Amino acid sequence: MLTFTCSSCNAELTIDDHLAGHRVDCTFCKMVIRAPGELKDVSNAILLDIPRCPKCSARRDETKESCGFCGHTFSDRPLWTRFPRTRKNTVLYNPAAARRRIVLGGLLAVVIVVAALLRFFKVDEVPDPSRLPPVERCLRHMILLHFAMEEYAAAKSGPPHGVGSEFWSTILQRDGRTGMLQCPAGCGRKRPSHFRGPAKPIHELQITGVLATTYPDDHEGGINVLLKNGTVLFVPATNEYYRKALAESRE
């Protein structure tokens, strides 16, 4: 192995013995220098067919118009300009068209994102109350009765002390809403009120005490029940709570 110092950057280089006397590239500064020693066989000389800067002999990037080391401007054209300009290799750039493509691409991305969000977070449509089963419509109406009781209690410093259907008549007569005494499903018979009230004053009821029930013959298979805490439920006639709910309410 032959070791010597680069005459350009003073870096220490090591090459094979058979390269003595040849022109070699410095691995540090990329300059072409001659290795020390005598060129033994000229016929075996290494021909360096590498584009180089005519000023500093550094390797030349054929895509550039000037040397990256010394800044020398090349007289011949860069490699990429040597090909004939044909319709195939000529790129026409239109800034306005490029902007339109960017805007359209952004709008398309927004549409895709919104469609994905609607698909995964789809909000269920609110059903038409008139299309609900009679039992479900009656249960929703009993929730409104509980709201009316709370409004009455807020206005009168407490709910009425009556029992039975009179309890609900007192509440709804205050605002002239006596029509709420009728079941919206039309299941009740010709009674002044389709809802039974509590069997004892409300202040004596527990939090799960019965505030209202429908009549046993209004809904097939059971009764609707409204509790003091606002819970509504359908109780089948075969359930043991059925008789208890009727016992805790009265006409």
pLDDT of residue 87: 46
Q: Look at the chain and report how many structural domains it folds into.
A: 1
Instruction: Please state, as a whole number, how many other Cβ atoms lie within 10 Å of the Cβ of residue 123.
Output: 6
- Asked if the structure places residue 59 within a domain, the reply is no
- Asked if the structure places residue 60 within a domain, the reply is no
- Asked if the structure places residue 123 within a domain, the reply is no
- Asked if the structure places residue 222 within a domain, the reply is yes
Dist. CA 167–CA 228, nearest whole Å: 13
Mean pLDDT of the chain: 78
Dist. CA 187–CA 180, nearest whole Å: 14
Dist. CA 11–CA 7, nearest whole Å: 8
Domain that holds residue 241: 132-250
- Asked if the structure places residue 43 within a domain, the reply is no
- Asked if the structure places residue 154 within a domain, the reply is yes
pLDDT of residue 187: 63
pLDDT of residue 125: 56
In one-letter notation, the amino acid at residue 67 is: C
**Nearest by Cα to 212 from 238, 250, 173:** 250
Dist. CA 205–CA 245, nearest whole Å: 13
pLDDT of residue 47: 44
Local confidence pLDDT in tens for the 251 residues of the chain = 788 888 888 888 888 877 787 778 887 887 878 888 776 654 444 444 467 777 777 776 666 778 777 888 877 655 445 444 444 444 455 677 788 888 899 899 999 998 888 877 765 555 566 677 888 888 888 888 888 888 888 888 788 888 888 888 888 887 788 788 888 776 656 777 888 889 888 888 888 888 888 888 888 888 889 998 888 889 898 888 889 988 888 88
pLDDT of residue 108: 92
- Asked if the structure places residue 119 within a domain, the reply is no
pLDDT above 90 coverage of the chain, percent = 2
pLDDT of residue 90: 45
- Asked if the structure places residue 210 within a domain, the reply is yes
Helices (H), the chain: 95-120, 134-156, 165-173, 241-247
Dist. CA 241–CA 107, nearest whole Å: 60
Tokens 């809403």 identify what position? 177
187 close to 168: Cβ distance less than 8 angstroms: no
